[in-house]
């Protein structure tokens, strides 16, 4: 089995690939697609094959998927990029990768998506059967493009597509936890953020990759304990703005996801059920 991984130099990809390689059995190989050869060197040292090219280049895609059995598309463009780039990478390039994979005979395609595709809350935990409802304070080109990519990939014929929807990812030196204050400082004190440690994101994606008979399935990946805006400030050692206590949460269930399906069907159990467990383990 040869697995291609894209987006390997991002925060998720760079932590997922070593875990994929570490759990590989005899005869299983990993290939990564990188835009810069030098950034592929750490993966090559771990035993991965390296293909240099851009996800938006058709020739590079052909080389990347040649002889591949499975694809894990981690690539994403968000946070501060122009909307056009978000659509070009998150939807257009993802769909072209899916088409190239189908044409090359790839058996499995794992699309890494985001819980933000749900849009507005439903007054309860979001399940994978909930449709996307554009709107809410976190909606924009990133979730819109990811939602459209999911729809178009599922429509491709002859490709076993499965989707993992991620929460706010943190841990292992990832700066995301500190960056959360960019939003949390403007929230209500009790407004919650659903999180997931890199170890558990990787665990979830590996389970989705290897599970038989789940073509067309979507799985939420997250921990057990969303944290409030106040907690995010405390975790970062930051002063809590008094205004937080004066605000009302406009959507208390925004992007809070149920993990019942991935637990029941794939045996997922978070290594770090809360950010506090990760902190106690020194895994932040």
- Residue identified by tokens 């990029």 is 81
Per-residue pLDDT, 78: 83
Residues 6+ apart with CB under 8 A from 220: 115, 126, 127, 128, 165, 167, 257, 258, 259, 261, 262
Read out DSSP for 191-249?
-EE-EEEHHHHHHHHHHHHH-SS-TT-EEE---S--EEHHHHHHHTT-PPPGGGGG---
- Residue identified by tokens 């890494």 is 112
Q: Report the alpha-carbon distance of residue 84 to residue 23 in Å, rounded.
A: 37
124: exposed, middle or buried (Cβ count in 10 Å: 0-12, 13-18, 19+): exposed
**Whole-Å CA distances, 118 to 43, 58, 150, 230, 251:** 33, 30, 12, 24, 13
Three-state DSSP class for residue 172: coil
Would strands 192-193 and 227-228 be described as parallel, antiparallel, or unpaired? antiparallel
Virtual torsion, Cα 29, 30, 33, 37, nearest 10 deg: -90
Spell 73-103 as b/e; 16+ CB within 10 A means b.
bbbbbbeeeeeeebbbbbbbbbbbbbbbbbe
Paired with 51 in beta bridges are: 33
What are the pLDDT tens digits along the chain (284 aa)?
Answer: 999 999 999 999 999 999 999 999 999 999 999 999 999 999 999 999 999 999 989 899 999 999 999 999 999 998 778 999 999 999 999 999 999 999 999 999 999 999 999 999 999 999 999 999 999 999 999 999 999 999 999 999 999 999 999 999 999 999 999 999 999 999 999 999 999 999 999 999 999 999 999 999 999 999 999 999 999 999 999 999 999 999 999 999 999 999 999 999 999 999 999 999 999 999 99
- Residue identified by tokens 């809350």 is 121
């Amino acid at each position: 089995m040869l697995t291609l991984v894209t987006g390997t130099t991002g925060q998720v990809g760079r932590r997922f690939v070593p875990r994929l390689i570490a759990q590989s059995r005899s005869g299983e190989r990993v290939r990564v697609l990188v835009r810069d050869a030098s950034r592929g060197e750490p993966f090559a040292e771990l035993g991965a094959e390296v293909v240099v090219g851009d996800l938006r280049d058709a020739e590079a895609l052909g080389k990347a998927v040649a002889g591949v059995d499975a694809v894990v598309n981690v690539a994403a463009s968000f946070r501060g990029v122009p909307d056009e780039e978000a659509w070009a990478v998150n939807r257009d390039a993802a769909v072209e990768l899916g088409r190239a994979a189908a044409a090359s005979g790839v058996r499995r395609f794992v699309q890494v998506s985001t819980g933000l595709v749900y849009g507005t809350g439903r007054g309860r935990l979001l399940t994978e059967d909930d449709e996307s409802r554009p709107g809410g304070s976190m909606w924009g080109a990133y979730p819109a493009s990811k939602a459209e990519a999911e729809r178009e990939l599922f429509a491709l014929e002859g490709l076993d597509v499965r989707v993992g929807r991620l929460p706010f990812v943190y841990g292992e030196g990832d700066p995301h936890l500190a960056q959360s204050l960019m939003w949390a400082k403007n929230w209500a004190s009790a407004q919650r953020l659903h999180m997931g440690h890199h170890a558990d994101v990787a665990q979830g994606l590996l389970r989705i990759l290897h599970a038989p008979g789940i073509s067309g399935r979507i799985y939420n990946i997250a921990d057990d304990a969303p944290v409030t805006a106040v907690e995010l400030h405390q975790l970062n050692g930051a002063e809590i703005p008094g205004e937080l206590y004066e605000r009302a949460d406009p959507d208390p269930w925004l992007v809070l996801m149920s993990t019942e399906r991935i637990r029941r069907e794939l045996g997922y159990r978070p290594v770090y059920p809360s950010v506090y467990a990760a902190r106690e383990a020194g895994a932040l």
